[in-house]
Amino acid sequence: MIALVLLALVFTAEVSSAKIAEEEKDEKGLYQDEGKLSPATIAFFRGVDHLTKNFNCKIHGNKGDCEAWRALDLMNHLYFGKTNCDKADSSGLCDKARKLLGDKKKRLSHPQMWKLLTEKSHMVAKNKQLDDMWIAAEDYICSKVKSECKVMRNMTNFIHKWKAAEGSYE
């Protein structure tokens, strides 16, 4: 679900400076909300995303939505690892992202890679069953860590508004 928040933020980006400023404001607020979540909660949702990626790739044999899940998983790792592919990267994440994107000559900048990973992962956002799974995970968190429930609900509401605006529910 945290990855879906990242996806929502990237998909709402526009080129105009006014839109960029507005997006940065929304992004800052959302990331501040995310910062209110405990490391355990963030790890829980990242784990759900990672396990879902593994499951989809095993049942589809590295095709279909497997590439979309790989892109989303890489975005998660790049974001939470604060990795910038325009700088030195000892984690190997940038190499994995470049391989997934077919950038053999390493010519893509970090923002270009992020945009292409976002486009590649769009298929994940259109899956209604995942919404149900993430809502169940959110409900579980709310039952265990009541102090984080409001933040989780705000993030979910943001995702639903974004998906409706993108036409992901059509």
Percent over 90 (pLDDT), the chain? 16
Token pair belonging to 53: 């990626």
| Chain centre to alpha carbon of residue 33 | 15
Residue with the bigger pLDDT between 4 and 151: it is 151
**Rounded to an integer, what distance in angstroms lies between the CA atom of residue 77 and that of residue 72?**
9
pLDDT tens digits, one per residue of 108-122:
998 899 889 888 887
Select from 11, 8, 23, 2 the least CA-distant residue to 115: 11
Q: 3-class DSSP state for residue 49?
A: helix
pLDDT tens digits, one per residue of 9-30:
555 444 444 554 554 455 455 5
Across the range 103-108, mean pLDDT stands at: 91
Distances (CA, A) of 113 to 52, 94, 101, 118: 23, 9, 8, 8
**Rounded to an integer, what distance in angstroms lies between the CA atom of residue 170 and that of residue 164?**
8
Q: pTM here?
A: 0.71
